[in-house]
Amino acid sequence: MIYKKLSFSILLLLIVCAVIWANKVNNNRVILISEDFNNLNLKYIELDSLKRNLKENKFINDSLFNQKFSFSTLETHINNIDFFDNSNVYKSIDSKINFQINEKNAIMFLEYQNKYVDSIGQLIPLSKIYKPETTYVVGEIDSVNLIKAVKVSTLVKNDEFLFGHIDYIFMDSINIYLKPLNENFLIKLGNISDVSNKLNRYKIFYSAIHQSDLFSEIKNLNLSFENQVVIEKQKQ
């Protein structure tokens, strides 16, 4: 009986030692950079620029990952690069580090800051290799107006007709204006309230009269009043 207990204890000790040794070997194993890293489909920056950034910050050395850093630390560093929204860094079963990186999605260009803005108001610097298709916003936009500009730009960008039709969006401290491409008038939306309805109202109006003589007489349109399109005609 004592012999069986002793044998079981020795067996259990050997198993524990084996697990500890295996974990130590696995933790000390060299972690390679996966070939998938080279297949990242980045738009705003070149892959070599990202590699250079990670090398300069000691995260990688050629094809090896610096194990002094945790994956979460590396993810935080990547997420802080202005072009990127979020990232996922993980080790595969073959001890290779893999990268998944999502870039920010620009919806408007902010003229006075000379930067792009994404759907939640994050600024995106200009890229040397990529120019996203966005709305163009002019005027000095503060933090409050930025939220309004994002909302209007999102609606315009997601509408095939409006995105091709609107040249730029102008905002002052009170009102929002749209300037149609190749037209001589401004569209006054007023404030941000019911803006989707205002844009739909303009589309219906444009479809109905853009080929009529009245259209050429328009100086400005005012959509700020509920369920109305007020026309200001050019002076004869």
**Domain positions in the chain:** 32-103, 106-233
- With 80 as the cut, is the pLDDT of residue 76 above it? yes
Write out pLDDT tens, residues 138-162: 998 888 899 999 999 999 999 999 9
Torsion of CA 182, 187, 191, 196, to 10 degrees: -80
pLDDT band of 15, cuts 50, 70, 90: low
Write out pLDDT tens, residues 37-52: 777 899 999 999 999 9
Torsion of CA 93, 99, 105, 110, to 10 degrees: 160
C-alpha to C-alpha distance for 39 and 29, rounded to whole angstroms: 24
- With 90 as the cut, is the pLDDT of residue 195 above it? yes
Count, in order, helices (H) and strands (E) of the chain: 7, 14
Looking at residue 70, what is its pLDDT? 86
The overall average pLDDT reported for the chain is 85
Which residue, 208, 212, 147, 215, is CA-closest to 180? 215
**Global pTM value:** 0.80
CATH superfamily of 106-233: Cell division protein FtsQ/DivIB (3.40.50.11690)
- Looking at residue 29, its amino acid is R
Looking at residue 25, what is its pLDDT? 39
Looking at residue 30, what is its pLDDT? 58
**Averaged pLDDT for residues 110-126:** 95
Write out pLDDT tens, residues 168-183: 999 998 899 999 998 8
DSSP strand E in the chain: where?
32-33, 60-61, 64-65, 84-91, 96-103, 106-110, 115-118, 123-124, 135-138, 166-171, 176-180, 186-190, 218-222, 230-233
Looking at residue 83, what is its pLDDT? 96
Looking at residue 19, what is its pLDDT? 42
Percent of the chain scored above 90 by pLDDT?
55
At CB < 8 A and 24+ separation, what contacts does 23-31 make? Answer: 26/95, 29/95, 30/64, 30/95, 31/64, 31/65, 31/67, 31/91, 31/95, 31/96, 31/97
pLDDT band of 61, cuts 50, 70, 90: confident
Residue written as token pair 């219906």: 204
